[in-house]
Amino acid sequence: MNRIFLDYQSTTPVDPRVVNAMLPYFTEHFGNPHSVEHSFGIQAQAAIDVALARIADVIGATADEIVITSGATEANNLALRGTLPVGKKSHLISAVTEHQSVLGTLAALKEEGHATTLMPVDGEGLIDVAAVDAAIRPTTRIVSVMAVNSEIGVVQPYAELGQLCRSRDVLFHVDAAQGFGRVPLDMKRDCIDLLSVSAHKIYGPKGVGALYVGAAARSLMRAQVTGGGQQGGLRAGTLPTPLIVGFGEASRLMKEERASEVARLADLRKRLWTQLVAHVGGVHLNGSADYRWVGNLNLRFDDVDADSLLLMLPHLAISTGSACTAGTPEPSKVLRALGLSLEQASQSVRIGLGRMTTPEEVDQAVALISQAAARLRG
């Protein structure tokens, strides 16, 4: 039996078109982009300039506002740590449902003496903008919120939060690892000061990401990786030309194909949901049905332990939560934040659809889940 990958929130396969764009920069055009004294370095830097423009174009930014990182985790750290004033204690606001790279950084900052507030979410996983407004203090430096939740796919009201932060003179950071190229993001319109991205979530290579740094944040930003002063002094280190070229091509494809892909995934998700309800039964949606990325279904199956279900599905790649917290015995903190009981959270799985998902794979997945759930219930 062929394996079926339905865990597109954890990672994505590299698009063959992206691979083709990258290959020459491993061998033929291998120059160091910082060696501007000769044509090899100049050629590499020119390719990076094109890629940065393509990344920026997705979010209504410019190439000089993009700082390349090793991924969204480093970008989140740079955004949160790099904008704090030296010698002063600040207040940071986020949500209980954020990615561990944000929550872990906030926990470390709290140990260093900074204050943090983690906002609750409602039963659909959404943040109350008015509650964030009430939580802002005179010492609040930054509000950090995921655009699209990595577990339940819920799209937060980032535009409203951005406008709030701008009116209160607070920096607004968005973790867009799951939202970049998927939901409409415009840095100026949405009043976003900092935005984190990861290439491997958009059919690009692993090991490269970016942080958008707007003018207000740039004036405050201090590098967290120091050395040669590359990237305007905001992040030192030799830029990985092949990875950045792939990141740029992946970004271009995400923008150009977004409308058609959203429509296709919406059809696939409807197909998957309808069949699961009909053939498995006792299935419930976790998180908002209306404010949700179309490629995500986080589902709870009555009387079915999720870990046991996954063990019975060796040919189907689905998960019980974020890849960055997989393997922990505790039920998902995101699901618990929605108000689910321990038992309900332990009955939940995340199914992610993506560019390579076919209708036939959806049908096969339904058949496999149906058979496994029936055995567990029996």
Contacts of 12 (CB under 8 A, 6+ apart): 200, 201, 202, 203, 204, 354, 355
CA 330/CA 320 separation, integer angstroms: 11
Three-state secondary structure readout of 75-116? HHHHHHHHCCCCCCCCEEEEECCCCHHHHHHHHHHHHCCCEE
191 is catalytic: no
Q: Kindly report each contact of residues 323-329 with a partner whose C-beta sits within 8 Å and lies 24 or more positions away, as own/partner.
A: 323/7, 323/9, 323/10, 323/11, 324/99, 324/100, 324/101, 325/100
Are 378 and 372 contacting, i.e. CB atoms less than 8 angstroms apart? no
Are 198 and 181 contacting, i.e. CB atoms less than 8 angstroms apart? no
CA 19/CA 257 separation, integer angstroms: 17
Q: What is the CA radius of gyration of the chain?
A: 21
Identity of the residue numbered 111: E
Using DSSP's 3-state secondary structure scheme, residue 371 falls into helix
> Tokens 């949606």 correspond to what residue?
285
CA 76/CA 212 separation, integer angstroms: 11
**Set 107, 130, 266, 324: catalytic member:** 324
CA 244/CA 208 separation, integer angstroms: 7
CA 102/CA 92 separation, integer angstroms: 11
The candidate with the shortest Cα–Cα distance to 58, out of 172, 235, 176, 226, is 176
- C-alpha atoms less than 13 angstroms from C-alpha of 224 in its C-beta half-sphere: 18
- C-alpha atoms less than 13 angstroms from C-alpha of 93 in its C-beta half-sphere: 24
Using DSSP's 3-state secondary structure scheme, residue 213 falls into strand
Catalytically annotated residues: 324
